[in-house]
Structure 1
Amino acid sequence: MKDSVFTHIPCGETLPINNIHAVSVSMPSLQDVIDYEEQTPEILEKIKSAYPRFVLHPYLKLLANYIKEKYKVSNNYEVVLLSSQEAVKIVSSKYFIHNKIDIEEPFGVILVLRGTTQLQKVLTFIQHVGCNLSSRFAQDYLFEVGVLKHKHQEELEKEEISLEIIKKTLAQAYNQPISNVGLAPSGMNAIYSVIRGLKKIQEKNNRTILVQLGWLYLDTMNIVEHHYNRTKKFLDISNLDKLENYLEEYGLNVSAIITEIPTNPLLQSVDLVKLRSLCDKYNIPLVIDATLATPYNLNLKPYGDIFVESLTKFACGNADVLMGAVILNENFKISHMQGEFFKHLEMVYIKDIQRLAYEIKDYKSRVKKISANTKKLVEFFKTCSYIDKIYYCLSSENEKNYKVAMIDEESYSGLISVTFNKDFKTIYDNLNFAKGPSLGTEFTLLMPYVYLAHYDYIQTTKGREFLKQIGLPIDLLRISVGIENLDEIINEFKRVEKYFST
């Protein structure tokens, strides 16, 4: 077999490589992942930048230090940067922060006492609601004041047409009016804004319960729990009978149902036809996170009321922009209340808009290439000796549910999750694809999902039992399929077979 075109990427290298605005970071060995989760000094020396909502960007650290010196802030306080003054009000109110600082800056600043549990709570909340300050904003600011001598060079769309390009692309993809599209500085801020809007609209109708359908992305669940005292989770989406029975009693008190199509990382799809009929029966808005489906794989317009998408993923394709979107469906009653959903969206920095506008022009072609590669890679995995179970959007148990919204026969979500009948660490450590958080990239990207998303569950017997209960294997590898030559992708998986040959 010829040598693989994929090569080892050292731990701590940005993904994409040599890009200061990268939203992922290389963790090439399982021990790197464990060390990152346990925050060992050795790993913190290597990983300077990672997924932006989880690790403070180096430019934001520089900017915080600059602000601290500029305004002569006491060393007793940590300077925390936020995307806006509105975000300052939200965080300060929630955590009773009264250490006001008078500044004249185009962003928000709060001061949090060092050595307190409050600091971690604040940082976690910011992570969940996605009101981080843009790394591109920090770069421009620091360059203007002379802290940085150079800027990262990248292709940008013209400023005057960038916002229209993004909104028009999404409006056409979702078959909605352009006025029904709102942008956010992250996918989580988009979800946060929708949750806040729903709570405001529905509380006056005594609809105070939010239903979570499926095991959703970690921060989505955290946002739900932050804003609703009453939540109901239905983790098994393969059978809607329990949900139907619940709605018979509480349907008129349900504010909304929120789900992912398909789910991450198990790629399951709910029975959309039945779910839509239940929502209609009780007049319940259906919120769908369509990030994994993308509007180019599935037509969800007949089913959802509100769509959210992390544009950081497939819409960007290069893992170097943090942005999200809210798309309101004109088909349903709730669309006329767009102001309530859009008013909680944080402003998006213009350079991020320009970068995404440049990248989003390839959105449809990128998704089609990834879908075609995914379909063929699934077929290879069915013959791969060391792969045990394959989770993908058209697996037999959810084929009917996914097909109902498919646009064409190549409409495979660009994710595949697999388990192995051989040693997980050996396989993970020896595959030379990019390995780190995030998905939707043009380059194939692997992630040991449970280790990075739910490491705390792995650490306890109770946690491991819970993962088993919800059918989430600890040694699950999530594969975000890229647009590389499919034969080269397959050859890299074949290459690892030699480690298990007798």
Structure 2
Amino acid sequence: MTHANRFLNIMISQAIGESIPNNTEHAVSVTLPTWEATVGYEEGEEWVVSKMNSGYPRFFIHSIIQQLASNITAKYGRTGEQCMVFSSYNISKRCRDFIYSKTPANTAKPTVRVLKLSTVPPRTDLEKSTVVETSIGVIFFPPAVFTLAKAYWQHSGEGISSRLAEYLLKHLFPQSTHKVDVTGDTKAEIQARRIQKISPSINTPTVSKRRDDEDTTMFIDQKFGRILDLKFAPAAKIALKRRIIGNIEELDLDLNKIRENTKKFDADDVYLYPSGMASIFNCHQALLSAFPPQKSVCFGFPYVDTLNILKKFGPGVHFLGLGDDQSLAELEQNLSNGMKISGLFCECPSNPLLKTPNLKKIRALADTYDFAVVVDDTVGNFINIHVLPYADMVCTSLTKVFSGDSNVMGGSVVLNKETRKYAQLKKYFTMHYEDVFWAQDALVMERNSRDFAERSRKVNENTQEIVNFLKNCSLISKVYYPSLSDTKNYYDDIKTQNGGYGGLISFIFHDPNDAITFFNAMNFHKGPSLGTNFTLACPYTILAHYGELEEVEKWDIDRNLIRISVGIEDKKELVEVMEKSLEVTLNSRRDS
């Protein structure tokens, strides 16, 4: 069964808090079917949060992870302690250091303990299919500093995956059951997250109605060829690296157009991470460690946690939120006057305004003033755009269109061996890189990404149809898309020969009430994330910036902005959904 047919046959849930895709144990998104439900979630309203059975993994801790943490606390914790589980001992120590760094100077440092736990290796060749030796780090802390620990979990993206937690429960606590319910966020936790951007406690006792029994799970695995033979995980990771770097090379059809003397890139310069945010976080850590620590620049308005990383770890950030030519000219002036920066971080194009930075100019400034360039190409994706010649490091969230199935997290970093900073960066990654991308996640990611290029082309085609519809809708005041932006020429400079403009669209209405009506009427999946094989919509500013709506408007982020990530469904069906939503909106206007 093809991806397209499979997703056309999935029922679109309108039930608050259900996983997206429906009935998916390790889902990446969650249903918030109306504008009011999204606001209610952000406000911590009981009618919403009590129904939250799933969530985006960096914000909503999976029930299986909660159960693992509960078991570890019961066995190894001290009275009054909570714990959080990370993919390695070193990551747990980084979380501890973060807690200490954010503890006020006039306050006694909290008691924070770090524990390393390991599972046994396979004892026979037969066991190699189901048993992997692995180690994790556990951090114990008093409840008073929980929000700091959770902030690290969210910002760094280095928490364990639900599949790893499932494996650890089975091997560390073989007598325990982990068929538990997911708890919803409490109102207090939601309100705290509005300020701190944190998510629910992993230690709250929980109980779930969602988990299928093992027989059903096995049937699904067999039906879709998803049996996870762990002995193939190393080969899957090699395949992923080659797929990432191979796509880059295959699309390298006219390198002279982009940059002269570009060499072939090596799969050894690809590093895999448990999430896209972890890849950005580790690029930032590399700059802080391999070079004298300086402030960085965030060029353009980015996804919220990219800016959080740059703000909260290290010396700080110069935020150039408009990301336009004038901002770049101001940066050049400041650099010429002696300002020092360690690196410039940017998205290509940006989320949610779909602006493309002038990478040629940024690369020239980097070479002149000796700073690194870190480009997040997730929204564009490396089938459509080729940014590596301009970057020292390229970060990608593999969770998005590379995977498409919305059932696994992952990220990657690619180093550019042409730049002057390559040797120092390579030395850092050689010495400090930890492969904490869990074996089962790698196997699922490898499977999902086999038809990445085909799906990307389909998404490009479908999205153009939606863009055409939105452009001709009189109720809409602005459509954001790379081909419509005044930065289109910068996108075209890096667009591959057969590439398109991607699957993400944002738009705003003249009347905010129309935005609400239109969004509620859309018969699409609705929730966080992007790059899914199915079309996914959200009131982006409400969902990502509810606690700072006035602040983000300074950077042209309208509070009523709607974002759609277009999938691979039949394009006629997609347009029909949009037309019906418009009809409902027009009827609502006539009735009011």
Q: Distance in 2 between matches of 1:102 and 1:268?
A: 44
Change (3 A) 1:80 1:94: same
Q: Does 1:428 align with 2:519?
A: yes
Give the alignment's TM-score, normalised by structure 2.
0.78
Q: Does the 8 Å CA contact 1:64/1:79 hold for their aligned counterparts?
A: yes
Question: Of residues 269, 273, 284 in structure 1, which corresponds to 2:371?
Answer: 284
Q: Distance in 2 between matches of 1:40 and 1:124?
A: 22
* Residue-by-residue CA offset, 1:310-359 (whole Å, 9 max, x unaligned): 11111110111111111001221222332414625551110000100101
* Residue-by-residue CA offset, 1:190-214 (whole Å, 9 max, x unaligned): 11111111112221xxx61211111
Q: Distance in 2 between matches of 1:379 and 1:373?
A: 10
Between stretches 368-377 and 407-416, larger displacement belongs to 407-416
After TM superposition, give the deviation of residue 12 of structure 1 in Å. 1.1
The equivalent of 1:441 in structure 2 is 532
The AA in structure 2 aligned to 1:467 is V
* Residue-by-residue CA offset, 1:212-257 (whole Å, 9 max, x unaligned): 1111111111111122324212122221211211111135x22111
Change (3 A) 1:109 1:365: same
Question: Of residues 79, 91, 96 in structure 2, which corresponds to 1:92?
Answer: 96
Alignment root-mean-square deviation, CA: 2.0
Change (3 A) 1:28 1:303: same
Q: Does the 8 Å CA contact 1:156/1:357 hold for their aligned counterparts?
A: no
The equivalent of 2:349 in structure 1 is 262
Between stretches 302-311 and 277-286, larger displacement belongs to 277-286
The AA in structure 2 aligned to 1:447 is C
Q: Distance in 1 between matches of 2:113 and 2:386?
A: 48
The AA in structure 1 aligned to 2:50 is E
The equivalent of 2:205 in structure 1 is none
The equivalent of 1:168 in structure 2 is 242
Q: Does the 8 Å CA contact 2:479/2:507 hold for their aligned counterparts?
A: yes
The equivalent of 2:30 in structure 1 is 25
Question: Of residues 174, 179, 187 in structure 1, which corresponds to 2:276?
Answer: 187
Q: Distance in 1 between matches of 2:34 and 2:532?
A: 20
Q: Distance in 1 between matches of 2:436 and 2:527?
A: 28
Q: Distance in 2 between matches of 1:230 and 1:62?
A: 36
After TM superposition, give the deviation of residue 468 of structure 1 in Å. 2.7
Between stretches 378-387 and 131-140, larger displacement belongs to 378-387
* Structure 1: unaligned runs, 5 residues or longer: 459-463
Question: Of residues 63, 67, 85 in structure 2, which corresponds to 1:62?
Answer: 67
After TM superposition, give the deviation of residue 35 of structure 1 in Å. 1.8
The equivalent of 1:302 in structure 2 is 389
* Residue-by-residue CA offset, 1:368-393 (whole Å, 9 max, x unaligned): 11111112221121112432210001
Q: Does the 8 Å CA contact 1:84/1:346 hold for their aligned counterparts?
A: no
Q: Does the 8 Å CA contact 1:33/1:452 hold for their aligned counterparts?
A: yes
* Residue-by-residue CA offset, 1:66-110 (whole Å, 9 max, x unaligned): 222333x34512122122111121122332453436564431212
Q: Does the 8 Å CA contact 1:210/1:228 hold for their aligned counterparts?
A: no
Question: Of residues 392, 398, 402 in structure 1, which corresponds to 2:487?
Answer: 398
Q: Does 1:124 align with 2:210?
A: no
Change (3 A) 1:101 1:382: closer
Q: Does the 8 Å CA contact 2:91/2:158 hold for their aligned counterparts?
A: yes
Q: Distance in 2 between matches of 1:60 and 1:223?
A: 24
Q: Give identity over the alignment, percent.
A: 29
The equivalent of 2:542 in structure 1 is 451
Q: Does the 8 Å CA contact 1:196/1:341 hold for their aligned counterparts?
A: no
Q: Does 1:112 align with 2:117?
A: no
The AA in structure 2 aligned to 1:100 is R
The AA in structure 2 aligned to 1:405 is I
Question: Of residues 326, 336, 347 in structure 1, which corresponds to 2:413?
Answer: 326
* Structure 2: unaligned runs, 5 residues or longer: 1-7, 101-109, 119-134, 180-212, 250-264
Q: Distance in 2 between matches of 1:322 and 1:34?
A: 26
Give the alignment's TM-score, normalised by structure 1.
0.92
* Residue-by-residue CA offset, 1:39-89 (whole Å, 9 max, x unaligned): 233322211220011011110111112222333x34512122122111121
The equivalent of 2:82 in structure 1 is 78
Q: Does the 8 Å CA contact 1:235/1:470 hold for their aligned counterparts?
A: yes
Between stretches 422-431 and 284-293, larger displacement belongs to 422-431
Change (3 A) 1:215 1:345: farther
The equivalent of 2:579 in structure 1 is 494
